[in-house]
Amino acid sequence: MKILFTYDMFREGFASLEERYEVTFPEGRDFTYQEILKRIPEYDVLCSMFDFPVNKELIDQAPRLQLIANYAVGYNNIDVAYAVEKGITVTNTPGPVTAPTANLALGLMLDTARRITECDRKLRTLEKQMKIGILENLGVHITGQTLGIIGMGRIGKALCKRACACGMEVIYHNRRQLSLEEETTLNVTYVTKEELLSKADFVSLNAPYTPETFHLIGEKELNFMKPSAILINTARGPLVDEHALVKALQEGKIHGAGLDVFEFGDYPLPELLALENVVLTPHIGTQTTHARLEMARAVSDNVIGFIERDRPVSRIYKP
């Protein structure tokens, strides 16, 4: 079996693959799309990163390809329908991604609500000119407030548990309603998207990026939200119409936003940088050393499980 990696990092997490198979890494960098296109005809397995496009053109150049093992829970970078049509298995890494992403979502909620980064920024840059007093840096409460989670998969549920521990009430909207048993265990209530948007003090997006979730939050949805509401996105940038969000924030239609992902690539729209009530992080949902290593191990397990049939594989059946 010949395995091709588009990236090179956390090699200790891939040791079990290197021991067993012929593995090619780009050595200290990423392979470009053109380099992968040239090499792929010779390989049985492609280990891709969440921002590497695995499209029809690439799949058509891969007569030997049996498995695409993605390093991520999200797989919007892969044309899964086409891969499945060609008999190629696609896998992802949901396990190690869940806790760190839910933790970051909670962190962004707290940061935006309590103005942590804003205060830090002001203290550093304005030093003594910063107004410090008992009413100067008032934030928003989390305890007793309502969190609306859109996308109640693994990460949504993990965030729900954390929010409940903070004393929040949680409502959710999802493609399918959870069983009564699960709703009771999680202590959550299913509502329509409109109801969620109009009731929630915090709205967190935890849905995958699909054609159906593109601009899940646009001008219309932002108009439904409370002027005091805070929007959190740790999922994928295009779930939010970023131009509409900028306008809503500038006009005070919503109170704030905590964003780990952006619509137009790695960087937010420049207008967002000028807003104090926005906390921005560069797609760090799973950026802990522990999570990165565990994700590498999960990719290795998916590859070995697929080849040897000796362990479970996290397989994606349809887009």
Please give the residue ranges that form the binding site for ligand GLV (CB under 6 A). Answer: 50, 72-74, 97, 285-286
Nearer to ligand GLV, 1 or 296 (CB): 296
Residue reference for tokens 């804003």: 118
Nearer to ligand GLV, 73 or 188 (CB): 73
CB of 97 to ligand GLV, least distance (A): 4
CB of 303 to ligand GLV, least distance (A): 17
Nearer to ligand GLV, 65 or 72 (CB): 72
Provide the β-strand partners of residue 315.
Answer: 91
Nearer to ligand GLV, 13 or 74 (CB): 74
CB of 279 to ligand GLV, least distance (A): 18
Nearer to ligand GLV, 114 or 315 (CB): 315
Nearer to ligand GLV, 61 or 103 (CB): 103
CB of 99 to ligand GLV, least distance (A): 12
Neighbours of 216 (CB within 10 A): 22
CB of 233 to ligand GLV, least distance (A): 12
Nearer to ligand GLV, 87 or 265 (CB): 265
Structure tokens at 104: 């970051």
